[in-house]
Amino acid sequence: MFAGAPTRLSFDWDAVARLVASPFDLRGSPPLQGLTILGAGEHGAIGQTPTTVWSAIKIVGRSASAPRSAAAELRERLDECVDVMGRNSRLGVELSGGLDSSIVAGAARAMELPIALTLNTRGPQPETDERRFATMMANWIGLPLEVRLRQEVVFTAEAFEATAGDPWPSQNGRDLANDLTVVEACRSAGVDRLLTGKGGDALFFQMHTPLTFADLWRRRPIQALLSPALPGVARWTRSSTWSVLRASRHALQDLKVHDLSPGKRMQIAAIESGLAYYSRCLRSDVVDMVHPLMSQPLIEWALRTPVPDLTPGGQERGLARRVFADRLPEAIANRRAKGDYAAYFNQQTAANLPFLRDYLLGGRLADQSVFDRADMEARLVPDRLLWRGGAAEILAAVSTEAWVRRWEARMTAGR
């Protein structure tokens, strides 16, 4: 993959530090100096300056469809994407129990795709167990559900560094236990392609933010104040209507006429962060990981659709819920909660602290002061992890440390 890469590479340690702090934010300068990394919508050849051939902002500027037309277009585009992506393969579908993966599964069934595996994984904690909803959806589409308990895993440098060779750290491969569990299930079923619901939060707009109302207020100043969107967003964000108004006013006060609305800017950032789902992992080495909700036709549809139309009445993912209500059990179509893996990752991290202390405190990120060594040492304590959490931040540092070590080995070998 990198046979033509230059050997004179170096790290931009400031960019590396940003990745540790915000691992899913791939904007800004790349962490490798001397290697040209094409961004979303860019095209280029070796030795040439990349050119932008596709722009999210330009797509947003195109005329939006009326709400009824946007709903029909969503259904049509999703079905086409799932149909094309699922054909000519031995297909598996992830069923997390949530809305997004259920919408994808419903489309696969509507397109009459031959599905060899409907898969749900869980941890040992009760809050990770989504079998009730996943089984409900599997029954709805007339397929058996395979449920797998995520196996315990021992952290090793080899395991993290095996998938750390991309131009960006692999955020998709740091959940080693799920990686191994999905790989085993797909191999057992002979599956070579796996559909997921990744990207639905950004596409359909699930982000808990008062900026949803700010977008409507900007478009229709008087009607917005009297609309059900104001109390709807307040309920959604668990705040008062006054708090929603105050936050929306603050977000709008400095905007110019041609500026993107606050909610749409947030949606674009969320869509961009989804690129991390395409980073290498053990699953992608075994099966073709396909994310229909991150396909270009649907992304362009979402960019052209105003946030208030995506969230009618201040309801998160409200348009998608209505469009696909006939393909989902009512309990899933109206579901707001989702499984929580925070305690699972905290306990898993606590069980691997000897490795983590050695790998991080004696690693390259600590040497380069990418993080504060004393602060990281204080985080790597069982009681703190189990009572205060912090596994997500630690695992972000681990995936970046693995990436730095893998690239340093590659640079050394190329000399």
Tens-digit pLDDT profile for residues 378-410: 999 999 999 999 999 999 999 999 999 999 998
Which percentage of the chain shows pLDDT scores above 70? 98
**Which one has a higher pLDDT value, 354 or 53?**
354
Residue 52 has pLDDT above 70, yes or no: yes
What are the tokens at 283? Answer: 């699953």
In this structure, the strands spanning 193-195 and 91-94 are: parallel
Please say whether the beta carbons of 201 and 207 come within 8 A: yes
**b (16+ CB within 10 A) / e for 19-53:** bbeebeebeeebbbeeebeeeeeeeeeeeeeeeee
Residue 3 has pLDDT above 50, yes or no: no
pLDDT tens-digit series, residues 124-150: 999 999 999 999 999 999 999 999 999
pLDDT for 5: 52
pLDDT tens-digit series, residues 289-336: 999 999 999 999 999 999 999 999 999 999 999 999 999 999 999 998
pLDDT for 258: 80
- Give the Cα separation of 153 and 176 in Å (integer): 7
Please say whether the beta carbons of 245 and 212 come within 8 A: no
pLDDT for 392: 92
pLDDT tens-digit series, residues 343-374: 999 999 999 999 999 999 999 999 999 999 99
pLDDT for 56: 85
Q: Token pair 């170096």 is at which residue? A: 10
HEC per residue, 356-410: HHHHHHCCHHHHCCCCCHHHHHHHCCHHHHHHHCCHHHHHHHHHHHHHHHHHHHH
pLDDT tens-digit series, residues 210-236: 989 999 999 888 999 999 999 999 999
Residue 1 has pLDDT above 50, yes or no: no
Give Cα separations from 405 to 35, 165, 380 (angstroms).
17, 9, 21
Please say whether the beta carbons of 195 and 86 come within 8 A: yes
- Give the Cα separation of 224 and 210 in Å (integer): 13
Please say whether the beta carbons of 283 and 198 come within 8 A: no
pLDDT for 4: 47
pLDDT for 214: 93
Residue 263 has pLDDT above 60, yes or no: yes
pLDDT tens-digit series, residues 240-260: 999 999 999 999 998 887 888
- Give the Cα separation of 219 and 70 in Å (integer): 18
Which percentage of the chain shows pLDDT scores above 90? 73
Taking the alpha carbons of 133, 138, 140, 144 in that order, is the dihedral positive or negative? negative
Q: Token pair 């990198």 is at which residue? A: 2
pLDDT for 413: 81
Over residues 184-194, mean pLDDT: 97
Over residues 34-57, mean pLDDT: 82
In degrees and rounded to multiples of 5, residue 91 shows phi and psi of -100, 140
**Which one has a higher pLDDT value, 369 or 151?**
369
Coil, helix or strand for 58? helix
What are the tokens at 200? Answer: 């639905």
pLDDT for 62: 76
Over residues 269-293, mean pLDDT: 91
pLDDT for 6: 52
pLDDT for 75: 97
Q: Up-side HSE of residue 138: CA atoms within 13 Å toward CB?
A: 23
How confident is residue 113, by pLDDT bands cut at 50, 70 and 90? very high
pLDDT for 412: 86
How confident is residue 7, by pLDDT bands cut at 50, 70 and 90? low
Coil, helix or strand for 178? helix
Coil, helix or strand for 255? coil
